[in-house]
Chains A and B, each alone.
Chain A
Amino acid sequence: MISLNEIIEGFFKAFQLILSLDPEVLNITLLSLRVSGTAVILGSIVGLPSGALLGLYDFKGKQLVVNFVNTMMGLPPVVVGLFVFLLLSRSGPLGLLDLLYTPLAMIIAQFILATPIITGITMAAVSSIDRTVRETAISLGATEGQLIWTVLKETRMSMLSGIIVAFGRVISEVGAIMIVGGNIRWYTRALTTAIVLETRRGEFALAIALGLILILLAFIINMMLTYLQRKGERIY
């Protein structure tokens, strides 16, 4: 029965699954969090400094790099998945690592998706704030180090936004982790790939329930990050 009943039933099922702490749902949810969380943390470690670097300094060919980063922000997850798959396949260049169909392979794919977003947003924030702050700081006699510190401090809220956007993108992404993770039960099955599977099986209510859990999760994490952001703004 494909009707509104499925959605209502999905709501009840979601509550039931959450309240009963269903071990499989917990496993799936924790994997989603672990994979996307790690990908975003690694993506921030790379993306924040690179974004700041690109925003702060001019160099030859910078426009090309900027365009490249902006293009990468819109990378289709399926293409990234296929690319990582071919890379990690036993017949591929990194086949020896034996990483295909592991959570780490999923992290690598989502890292590739998350990093350009964090880089791009940081870059935009730093370069937009750059001129006025830089001039003020220099006129106040700031050194190079103090100058960079000031600019980065000024843009930290935008950086947090970049992280939020990147997390939202990877936690809801299905194309890449389906290919490189394989949606293996108890091992590489994440919320989004489980939703695809249950839809394929015709278990619509369960698929909706998993979808609600995903949305709830994203909501809670965004609330926490936004809280941090607000707190940061007040202190500043």
Chain B
Amino acid sequence: MRRGITVLIAVLAATTILLSSILVYQWTTKPEKDLILATTTSTYDSGLLDYMLPVFEEKYNVKVRVLSVGTGQALEIASRGDADVVLVHSPETERLYVDSGDLIHRVPIMYNDFIVVGPPDDPANIEGLSNVTEAFIRIAEAGEAGEIVFFSRGDDSGTHKKELSIWDMAGINPSGKSWYLETGQGMGNTLIATNEGFSGKSGYTLTDRGTWLSMKNSLDNLVVLVEGDPILINPYSGLLVNPEKHPEVNFDLARKLIEYFISDYGQQRIANFTVGGEQLFIPCYGNAPDAWGTEEEEQAAYEYWGQPEFDPPSGFFVVLEETSIPEFKRDIKDGKSKIILFYSILR
């Protein structure tokens, strides 16, 4: 009996040593830090970042690791020091993190807009309205009448927060209503759900235009019904993690990344990015929409960031000019890095 226990304890001890040595090994041989960008699903899933980042990675010889999550999660991750730089779209929430001092130097980069999509036969009769608040009131009425359902992200994302603020303006509290369905998922999944409808009723939802454009081919039962209300402007900001709170973040490189986005070159590339022939994001450094923030906030941003230059690396040729959903696309440069990665994995 004694001997058996001794043997088994020895095995367990050996395992512990093995596991901890792996940890220590990883710790001591950690490669040079990469830059971690916490951002929203709308910038990544649309393909914008796959289009923008290779130039930056080439110039500074760095890997930008993209975490594509909801705005709420992106800001939370960054404020814990788990990311170096943030690109999100929810001005009110961003301000909370700026006020707490976790994130600093908020800067306007670009914007696109939100739209209301729904079934082509439009039972709520909102098509062509230029006032989104009125549209939401009609959606609520049609919902109460049992004709339609509304899908909400319900995930604390920038889009979700925008939607809640519109309900607020309409004086409606949709929470818990039978026609109000919260998916708790990303924009893509919520659009898929809206496209399916719920128990025979067609769905409506609020979406950012980027995700809509990149997905609309899969969404046969939906069309754009309301657009163009100034309330629906969707500004994207860059933020840096405060190095005084989190000295381990890669502050200099994070700063350089935002400088790339707001440089003339970067702004031009944002404007050049299209999906299915349509421009997705409108660059706005130096000319932010009202929704982004107050005059003072804008002044402070321009004072800190100035007018940075970005020279594209020599010898870099962009093959990705025509863009669609970026997955598995090959260009010469990327092909090379893929092969290298493949070998490093085999090794």
Residues in chain A near residue B217, CB distance under 8 A: 1, 202
Given contacts A102-B26, A148-B7, 12 further A-B contacts (CB under 8 A): A1-B220, A42-B19, A49-B8, A57-B1, A57-B5, A104-B26, A145-B3, A186-B341, A197-B45, A197-B68, A199-B188, A200-B186
Chain B at the A interface: SS class: helix
Residues in chain B near residue A202, CB distance under 8 A: 188, 191-192, 214-215, 217-219
A27–B188 touching, CB < 8 Å: no
CA distance A4 to B275 in the complex (A): 26
Q: What 0/1 readout, one digit per residue, does chain B (1-24) give for beta carbons within 8 Å of chain A?
A: 111110110011001001100110
Residues in chain B near residue A30, CB distance under 8 A: 345-346
Nearest Cβ in chain A — how far from B127, in angstroms?
A: 23
Q: What 0/1 readout, one digit per residue, does chain A (200-211) give for beta carbons within 8 Å of chain B?
A: 111110100000
B65–A49 touching, CB < 8 Å: no
B18–A45 touching, CB < 8 Å: yes
**Given A23-B342, A31-B345, A200-B45: A98 in contact with B81 (beta carbons within 8 A):** no
Residues in chain B near residue A168, CB distance under 8 A: none
A201–B23 touching, CB < 8 Å: no
CA distance A208 to B242 in the complex (A): 42
Residues in chain B near residue A201, CB distance under 8 A: 45, 188, 214-215, 325, 327
Query: Any chain A CB within 8 A of the CB of B256?
Result: no
**Given A46-B12, A101-B36, A200-B45: A91 in contact with B80 (beta carbons within 8 A):** yes
B8–A182 touching, CB < 8 Å: no
Residues in chain B near residue A52, CB distance under 8 A: 8
Q: What 0/1 readout, one digit per residue, does chain B (174-216) give for beta carbons within 8 Å of chain A?
A: 0000000000011111011001100000000000000000110
Question: Which chain B residue has the least Cβ–Cβ distance from A3?
Answer: B220
CA distance A43 to B55 in the complex (A): 42
B189–A34 touching, CB < 8 Å: no
Q: How large is the interface on A (under 10, 10 to 19, 20 to 34, 35 or more residues)?
A: 35 or more
A49–B345 touching, CB < 8 Å: no
Chain A at the B interface: SS class: helix
Residues in chain B near residue A26, CB distance under 8 A: 342
CA distance A234 to B326 in the complex (A): 51
Residues in chain A near residue B187, CB distance under 8 A: 200
**Given A182-B65, A197-B45: A203 in contact with B341 (beta carbons within 8 A):** no
- Could you list 15 examples of A-B contacts with CB < 8 Å? A22-B328, A31-B345, A34-B345, A42-B18, A46-B19, A89-B81, A97-B23, A99-B26, A144-B4, A145-B4, A185-B50, A202-B191, A202-B214, A202-B217, A203-B327
CA distance A95 to B15 in the complex (A): 23
A148–B4 touching, CB < 8 Å: yes
| Partner of A23 from B7, B23, B188, B339 at Cβ < 8 Å | B339
Query: Any chain A CB within 8 A of the CB of B147?
Result: no
Residues in chain B near residue A57, CB distance under 8 A: 1, 4-5
Q: In chain A between 181 and 219, which residues have their CB closer than 8 angstroms to a CB of chain B?
A: 182-187, 197-204, 206
Q: In chain B between 316 and 346, which residues have their CB closer than 8 angstroms to a CB of chain A?
A: 325, 327-328, 335, 337-339, 341-342, 345-346
